[in-house]
Amino acid sequence: MTSKGRGNFLKVKCLDCDNEQVIFDRAASDVKCIICGKTIMKSKGAKGKIMAHIDKVLN
């Protein structure tokens, strides 16, 4: 399921507004909910910290 060094696309659900969107877990900058603007993932240079409900890992 996880692949070292490549990162994964995750389907996540925003905790605030239930919007679902697909994010990349190694994005270079913070990812925000497109609906309410809540930070969904904090970028840490490598794998980011996910701050939303993870629905599914897409590969």
Binding site for Zn ion (CB under 5 A): 14, 16-17, 19, 33, 35-36, 38
| Encoded tokens for 36 | 């309410």
Query: Nearer to Zn ion by C-beta: 36 or 57?
Result: 36
Shortest CB 53 distance to Zn ion, Å = 11
Q: Could you give the CA distance from residue 5 to residue 47 in angstroms, rounded to a whole number?
A: 9
Chain position carrying tokens 């060094």: 5
Shortest CB 44 distance to Zn ion, Å = 21
Shortest CB 19 distance to Zn ion, Å = 5
